[in-house]
Structure 1
Amino acid sequence: MDDIDSFTEDEHAMRQFMPSSFGKQDASVDVEAQIQRCRRATVDERKQAITSKKQSDDEEDDDDDDSSEGEDEDEFPVSHELLIKTHDKAITSMTLDPSGTRLVTGSTDSTIKLHDLSAMTPTTIRAFKTVDPHAAKSSAVNSETHPVHQVLFSPHSGSQLLVITAFPQARILSRDGELVKEFKKGDMYLRDMHNTKGHISEITSGAWHPTNWDLFVTAGTDSTLRIWNVNNSMEQKEVIVHKSRSAGSAGRTRMTAVAWGSPIQGGNNILVGAALDGSLVMWNGDGPYHRPAAEIRDAHVKDAWTSGLDISADGRLVITRGGDDTIKLWDTRKFKTPITTVTHASTSSQYPTSNIRFSPNSSNVITGSETGHLHILNPATLRPELVTPVTPGSPLITVNWHPKLNQIFTGSANGQTTILFNPKISHNGALTILSKAPKKRHLDDDPNFTTSLDPLGMAGDATAPGGMPGAQANTFSSRHPTIGLTASGKSRDPRRPHLPATTPFAKNTPDQNYVKESIPHSSMRDEDPVEALKKYATKDKLFTKAWEENQPKPIYKDYDSEDEEARHADKKVKR
């Protein structure tokens, strides 16, 4: 028995020492702990202020209140958050592809950032590529840059990215940020906007066609909406000229926002545009476009920038957020007066791309505020159902509620992207990131790309908003300048030398050493030509030696003196 016991102990010790399988072993990760560290301290400030004033003596009532708060918290995906700090300036627009794996943000720093949510880990939350839309073309050298107004993935596959900047030309980029097409700019000296082949001034907004994925529309400050075909970049397909009726505008105004309604759920295909003269105009989405189907002249106050515009999923409701500190709900079937109007502080004067969006099923409306709060509104009354702080003190500019992920993405004036989610009702996205083991830094790794972590994967006590530790949050922001390549193709990492691109012409072009060694007398290019000729004339006579033997001798006609006098006399007579 003693031998058997000793054998069992030895076998147990051997199993502890030897691995159970070969290959790379994944480190265990506590997913629940990582998700719990992303839990938000304050979910709904409005309800929290109300409940703090209540005093209840009944314990059962307290339990009921707690359960109701939990139900409200699970209704919207806002219980947890994850931060992405990549931009240095305000984020003006963001978009996600239909699958929810690729996130693109645009900023006033004239760049767009590409993020792959499926490849991120809790310690590598960053953009994998930075693109300047104006320098994406390889032939563009020292090109000017402009703030990004809007970025939009194509709604069918997400293979194309529409980029709208403060420039008259729209651009189509690939999924990886490569320039595909640059659309035509119009002739600014033509008076009739119908005759120009493109916008003659800055584009403010754009939208894809809901069903025909080859079409998109752009709104410009030249008082036009232009419908483009992605296969023809030299001229727009249709021109819609909005004739302003306000005094002093000479028939022109600036188009500030545009939206294309979806007939998928049985509604009408409509095209709605907002203008700086306060008007809201609706056209039939399939044409004709020579006159609008309906127009509201004083939808918002004149010269107030209406930045937010969206159409519900059924195509029957239109929501607008104007620069006159109001949000208005409109019915496309009675497009005359708003159904509901509420007061909401505007940020469009400072950030003209501040948007407002319907939720995926149009059961709610979301928008940001100048205080950095996210407002989830009831679409019928426009009253807030939930007000949650995202970036307190920094205006919340752009919002996006992805239907497949059921997560809310926000962009703020401080350059921060926030992903709001709820583990119970959300899918993938931020949960995919938190389900991975944090990448630990190796001795030879670049410290700008990885972060040292404790065994649990994250610091236990000091955490920044969003569940990320304060030290790591600083690491994420400081990691940005050395990520990827610059617009000119140079590496941001100072330790990596810049290697120029090797072109076919460069491969066949001989260098200076080859010329000196292989071509005789090639060093004459570095000498003074006058001195070189004198040298060869005195010594070898390299250039004149051949003429010494076969140089022809000049033969001139000899004239007598009498013949010359007679010839001169004849000339005088003739004169």
Structure 2
Amino acid sequence: MSDSDDFQVEVPQLAKDDPLRSFIPGSFGQMPKEVDIAAQLGRARRPAAIKPEKPQQQAKSAEDSDSNLDSGSDSDDDGDEFPVSHEMVLKTHERAVTTVSLDPAGTRLISGSLDGTLKLHDLPSLTPTTLRAFKTVDPYQGKPSANSEQFPICHIEFSPLSGGAVLCVGDHPQPKILSRDGDILTEFVKGDMYLRDQNNTKGHTAAATTGSWHPSDRNICVTAGTDSTLRIWDINNKRSQKDILVFKSKVAGNAGRTRMTAVVWASPAHGGNNVLVAAALDGSLVMWSGNGPFSRPTAEIRDAHKAGTWTGGLDVSKDGRMVVTRGGDGLVKLWDMRNFKKPLVAREHPSSADQYPMNTIKYSPNSTNILTGSPTGDLCILNPGNLTPELVTPVTPGFATIAIEWHPKINQIITASANAETRMLFSPEKSSRGALEVMSKAPKKRHVDDDPALTTDQTYGISGDSIIVPGSGGHVSSRRNAGVSQAGRSKDPRRPHAPQQTPFQRSQPNEKHISENIPLSKMLHEDPREALLKYADVAKKDPQFTGAWKSTQPVTQYADISDEEDDQPQKKKTKR
């Protein structure tokens, strides 16, 4: 058979409706697999939200009930103005999530929990099958507190101007400034708890509760504490606060001290003076001029909320005129700064401040709505004029919704709940990037390394096949006490035993701390004899203390001792 002969390949002739066609490939090589993005977003769709009807709408709906039966319920969903139709769930914590924050660009999410850890999520790198935190940070290094095993994280907030710094406030007297990657940049000093006058202390003498950034200065922040003070810090100076605001309670029996429970530092969007507003445990609501001086408050309301209840929710509108508060007495109140004496509106709203004091309330980015949570796990969107609910949607039914944030750039709502879940609510039509970009990606191809229970060490979050160097501090613990036996040894037989750090070793200052905080500490490693001999020639040429008798000082002469003399001591002569 020559090369010029033609070959003819016989192809089976099948009917168009033959089921065998599904098993015959249409081409050679690897077949491209298309991802159904619409199906992925459909799985992320949430149940329909509840819209409370207004009184004037209830009568109209009763008359038009028959005409609306055939229209369906999809028309209501299409007219939603809130980005709550879809959600993305992040389950990275072990205990209740108390605070969340998203950077100004909407790419980095940080959440804090009662377990004392921070979880860092990089949203552009996530996929629908890899919803994990890329780093876990324990800002207080697992030091036990008096009330619990860890220091709970009370407040976390990105800098609103740059996003390069993060204010971290835990149940500890020393707030911290972290980088966007979780590294500790500044740890503010702790004050002297034995000083009665708080004006003489350099830092908080009791646990801090919350904090806020300056609206126009990226280096200034304020923290509130249970020592009845607000302290303004410069993040470049950790040794002492920049200003201190001591609030003296007028309630009898407190000796002039109370706990500061909430603080917000706001600036009008269209220009004007800054304002600093804080709430206290005695029910007071206090306002200062945000530009100083801070010698005395500009306005104060003694009975804003019931005394002894924790007012954790506090926010100021974008125009700088309205203040909304959520107290532990089950009331949400609206205040006007131009008449800062009595509330404009007060509505009942259940609170879970007894279990989670970090209950927050926030204005929407354009201040046209007010967001808050509920002990039943609902997200409530209120009208900013009369505080009536405009939308109530369940987020985590049966578990309290603690913290809420509405990001203005990506138009998404982030919630933190008591069931250790962080949820990002979005809408495919109204939101951009963020969770929408994550859920629109193709799922990552399943690999054996994607299962942390099989090939990943739970303690350090690294592959089991990697080379482990003892004493290298490049790992970050992903889960506390995970992968460790009761005796404190690793379950992985290939991992060498790491020496445990005792509490005595943890409290010892290292060489870096001594060199930075103790003056003249470098002289500890210097030989004192060599240090004195350096000045021998200088003292001989230019004597400063013996210069008065330098020319008249006689030359010292010593007697010569011959070798024949006896070295033994002479006997005393007997007296006669």
TM-score interval, normalised by the smaller of the two chains:
0.7 to 0.9
Cα distance between partner residues in 1 of 2:64 and 2:314 = 47
Distance across 1 between alignment mates of 2:105 and 2:164: 11
User: Following the alignment from structure 2 to structure 1, what is the Cα–Cα distance between the partners of residues 241 and 130?
Assistant: 42
Letter in 1 for 2:111: T
Q: Which residue type is aligned with residue 114 of structure 2?
A: T
Write the deviation string for residues 345-400 of structure 1: whole angstroms up to 9, x where unpaired: 11112111111100111110011111111111001010100111111111111111
> Residues 269-319 of structure 1, C-alpha deviation per residue, up to 9 Å, x if partnerless?
100000111110000000111011111111011111100011111111111
- The answer to whether the Cα contact below 8 Å between 2:90 and 2:131 also exists between their aligned partners in 1 is yes
**Residue in 1 aligned with 2:214?**
209
Question: Any idea what the Cα deviations from partners look like across 1:523-558, whole Å, max 9, x if unmatched?
Answer: xxxxxxxxxxxxxxxxxxxxxxxxxxxxxxxx999x
Instruction: Give how far 1:16 is off.
Output: 2.0
Matched, 1:366 2:371: yes
**1:33-80 C-alpha deviation (Å, 9 max, x unpaired):** 000011112322756xx99xx8899764224563651244x2111111
Match in the other structure for 2:27: 16
Find the residue that maps to 2:109 and give its secondary structure: strand
TM-score by length of 1: 0.74
**Shift in Å at residue 126 of structure 1?**
1.3
State the alpha-carbon separation in 2 of the partners of residues 102 and 57 from structure 1: 47
Measured after TM superposition, the shift of residue 450 of structure 1 is: 10
Aligned to 1:350: 355
1:136–1:183 CA distance, 2 compared to 1 (3 A) = farther
Measured in 1, the distance between the counterparts of 2:122 and 2:105 equals: 11
- 1:133 matches 2:131: no
Report the 3-state secondary structure (helix = DSSP H, G, I; strand = E; otherwise coil) of the residue aligned with 1:62: coil
* Partner Cα distance (1:250, 1:450) in 2: 58
Q: Contact 2:458–2:482 at 8 Å: present in 1 too?
A: no
Given that 1:357 and 1:366 are in contact with CA atoms closer than 8 Å, whether structure 2 keeps it comes out as yes
CA–CA distance in structure 1, aligned partners of residues 313 and 32 of structure 2? 46
Unaligned runs of 5+ in 1: 20-24, 138-143, 452-477, 506-554, 560-566
- Counterpart of 2:449 (choices 441, 445, 454) is 445
The answer to whether 1:37 aligns with 2:43 is yes
Paired with 1:239 and 1:71, the residues of 2 have a C-alpha distance of 51
The answer to whether residue 310 in structure 2 is matched with residue 305 in structure 1 is yes
Residue 409 (structure 2) pairs with residue 404 (structure 1):
yes
Give the letter aligned to residue 384 of structure 1.
P
SS at match of 2:254: coil
In 1, Cα distance between the equivalents of 2:65 and 2:98? 49
1:412 and 1:45 map into 2 onto residues whose CA distance is: 22
1:320-339 matches, within 5 Å, as 320-339=325-344
Counterpart in 2 of 1:237?
A: 242
1:149–1:353 CA contact under 8 A, matched in 2: yes
Q: Please give the secondary structure, in 1, of the residue aligned with 2:41.
A: helix
Cα drift, residue 14 of structure 1: 12
The answer on whether the counterparts of 1:268 and 1:316 sit within 8 Å (CA) in structure 2 is no
Tell me how far apart the structure 2 counterparts of residues 300 and 337 of structure 1 sit (CA, whole Å).
11
Q: What SS does the aligned partner of 2:69 have?
A: helix
The partner residue of 1:417 within 418, 422, 434 is 422
CA contact (8 A) 2:142 2:150 kept: no
Structure with greater helix share of residues? 1
Q: Which amino acid aligns with 2:39?
A: A
Give the partner amino acid of 1:387: V
> 1 CA distance for matches of 2:244 and 2:277?
14
Distance in structure 2 (CA, Å) of the matches to 1:147 and 1:60: 54
Q: Does 1:82 align with 2:73?
A: no
Q: Distance in 2 between the 1:121 and 1:246 partners? A: 54
Amino acid at match of 1:295: E
Aligned 8 A contact 1:399 1:408 in 2:
yes
Structure 2 vs 1, CA of residues 213 and 499 (structure 1 numbering), >3 Å: closer, same or farther?
A: farther
Show the counterpart of 2:271: 266
- For 2:383 and 2:413, locate their aligned partners in 1 and report how far apart those are by CA, in whole Å: 16
Correspondence list, 1:139-218, <5 A: 145-218=150-223
Equivalent residues of 2:459, 2:480 under 8 A apart: no
The letter for the 1-side match of 2:101 is: T
Q: Does the 8 A contact of 1:278 with 1:302 survive in 2?
A: yes
Give the Cα–Cα distance (whole angstroms) in 1 for the partners of residues 351 and 151 of structure 2: 24
Bigger relative contact order (CA 8 A; separation at least 6): 1
Aligned pair partner of 2:76 in 69, 75, 79: 69
Instruction: Give the Å deviation of 1:145.
Output: 4.0
Looking at structure 2, the residues matched to 192 and 63 of structure 1 have their Cα atoms a distance apart, in angstroms, of 72
Three-state SS of the structure 2 residue aligned to 1:432 is: helix
Residue identity matched to 2:117: T
For residues 481 and 340 of structure 1, what CA distance do their matches in structure 2 show? 51
The letter of the residue matching 2:28 is F
Amino acid paired to 1:17:
F
Equivalent position SS for 2:68: helix
Amino acid of the structure 1 residue aligned with 2:212: A
Structure 1 distance, partners of 2:241, 2:202, is 6
**What percent of counterpart residues are identical?**
51
Please tell me whether the aligned partners of residues 136 and 487 of structure 1 are also in contact (alpha carbons under 8 angstroms).
no
| Structure 1 CA distance for aligned equivalents of residues 220 and 302 of structure 2 | 28
1:177 CA displacement = 0.6
Residues 1:487 and 1:61: Cα distance change in structure 2 (over 3 Å):
closer
Letter in 1 for 2:139: P
SS of the residue 1:430 aligns to: helix
User: Cα–Cα, structure 1 residues 317 and 146, in superposed 2: closer, same or farther, change >3 Å?
Assistant: same
Relative to 1, partners in 2 of residues 1:14 and 1:87: Cα closer, same or farther, differing over 3 Å?
closer
Q: Which residue of 2 aligns with 1:102?
A: 108
Q: What's the CA shift for 1:193? A: 1.2
SS of the residue 1:177 aligns to: coil
Report the AA paired with residue 445 of structure 1.
Answer: D
In the alignment, which residue of structure 1 is the partner of 2:127?
Answer: 121
Per-residue deviation, 1:134: 1.3
Matched residue, 1:318: 323
Q: Is the 8 A contact 1:136 1:178 kept in 2?
A: no
CA contact (8 A) 1:225 1:241 kept: yes
Distance 1:102 1:323, change over 3 A: same
Distance 1:492 1:296, change over 3 A: same
Equivalent residue number for residue 497 of structure 1: 495
Report the Cα offset of residue 405 of structure 1: 1.3
Instruction: Give the AA of the match of 2:27.
Output: Q
Distance, in Å, in 2 between the alignment partners of 1:265 and 1:375 is 28
Q: Report the CA distance shift for 1:59/1:440 in structure 2 as closer, same or farther (over 3 A).
A: farther
Amino acid at match of 2:76: E
